[in-house]
């Protein structure tokens, strides 16, 4: 750069005359301009500040002192349904419990706790068999049929059994036929033996013979003795001789582990010989447990006959 000595204007180094005042610059020596100084890098500084803030937030979030949990939070986290199950077991025996209180139990049929759902099914079943009001009895029974369609296997099975016991006290399935058929079919289609057996029981207690082929197949070919017994129980209830013959063999076969269950099945059997078998078993002094089961089944069979009249 050549600075004009007259006006002070900074001209380019190759200028011969000042661009402002026209003075000749032949004798003026060119000067080198100082290198421009770089300003502060604000973007880098901002990035470092943000990074520091993020690190501080992480430390505070994960390592800073935290206050104690509110009182009762630990108890709530450890909450179990033991109290609910105990209450349901007690409520099941209350015959004159207000209907509105009973209705509050219905959601527990779908409880996420298996024991609570199981206990709810037993309670609703007990109420359905002792309910004098037709509309409420219908509500209890339909709730059990619905509960047999989903949930824990043990609770589904219990709901089906309770519904079956209730239907056994009726002269016919009546308005429930289609719902019983649908519920039984869903259970019979299951691969679990306990659920299939409860489907057999439910349909047989309602007097429905729609699943007799499946019952006979289970009686003839199922490797499980329990499955055979449940199929025989249902067939005997429906009046099929092969079902009663299997029960007779199980009851008369000595100390079979399924003897008590076979005796219980005879309480519902349509065979006229069932009462004779129960009477003989109730006098068996060699097997007190079986004798007790036979006496209970015999009493229930006689009560059932009275109700049916």
pLDDT at position 171 is 60
Distance CA 247, CA 261 (A): 9
pLDDT at position 288 is 84
pLDDT at position 96 is 80
Residues 6+ apart with CB under 8 A from 174: none
Residue 209 is given by DSSP the state -
- Phi then psi for residue 17, to 5 deg, are -130, 150
As given in the structure block, the two tokens for residue 136 are 């409420």
pLDDT at position 63 is 52
pLDDT at position 181 is 94
pLDDT at position 44 is 57
pLDDT at position 164 is 92
241-252 helix and 225-237 helix, angle to the nearest 10 degrees: 130
pLDDT at position 253 is 75
pLDDT at position 89 is 86
CB 201 within 8 A of CB 212: no
Distance CA 166, CA 125 (A): 7
- DSSP alpha helix (H) spans, 64-192: 73-77, 82-91, 99-103, 114-130, 134-147, 153-168, 177-188
Q: Enumerate the domain spans of the chain.
A: 105-210, 231-309
pLDDT at position 11 is 72
pLDDT along the chain (309 residues), means of 10: 72 73 73 59 58 56 48 46 83 84 93 93 91 90 94 95 88 81 94 92 93 95 88 94 93 76 90 90 80 88 73
pLDDT at position 286 is 66
pLDDT at position 115 is 92
pLDDT at position 52 is 61
């Amino acid at each position: 750069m050549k600075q004009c000595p007259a006006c002070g204007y900074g001209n380019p180094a190759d200028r011969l005359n000042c661009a402002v005042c026209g003075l000749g610059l032949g004798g003026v020596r060119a000067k080198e301009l100082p290198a421009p100084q770089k300003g502060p890098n604000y973007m880098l500084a901002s990035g470092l500040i943000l990074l520091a803030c993020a690190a501080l937030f992480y430390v505070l979030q994960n390592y800073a002192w935290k206050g104690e949990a509110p009182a009762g939070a630990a108890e709530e986290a450890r909450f179990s349904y033991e109290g609910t199950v105990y209450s349901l077991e007690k409520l099941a025996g209350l015959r004159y419990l207000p209907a509105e209180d009973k209705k509050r139990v219905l959601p527990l049929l779908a409880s996420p706790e298996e024991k609570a759902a199981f206990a709810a099914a037993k309670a609703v079943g007990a109420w359905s068999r002792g309910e004098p009001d037709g509309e409420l009895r219908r509500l209890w029974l339909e709730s059990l049929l619905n509960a047999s369609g989903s949930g824990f296997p043990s609770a589904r099975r219990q709901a089906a059994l309770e519904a079956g016991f209730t239907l056994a006290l009726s002269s016919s399935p009546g308005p429930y036929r289609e719902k019983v058929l649908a519920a039984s079919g869903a259970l019979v289609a299951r691969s679990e033996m306990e659920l299939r057996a409860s489907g057999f029981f439910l349909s047989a207690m309602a007097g429905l013979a729609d699943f007799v082929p499946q019952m006979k197949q289970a009686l003839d070919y199922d490797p499980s003795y329990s499955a055979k017994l449940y199929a025989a129980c249902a067939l005997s209830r429906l009046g099929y001789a092969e079902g009663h013959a299997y029960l007779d063999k199980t009851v008369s076969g000595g100390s079979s582990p399924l003897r008590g269950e076979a005796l219980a099945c005879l309480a519902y059997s349509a065979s006229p010989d069932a009462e004779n078998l129960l009477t003989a078993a109730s006098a068996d002094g060699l097997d007190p447990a079986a004798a007790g089961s036979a006496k209970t089944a015999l009493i229930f069979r006689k009560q059932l006959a009275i109700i049916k009249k």
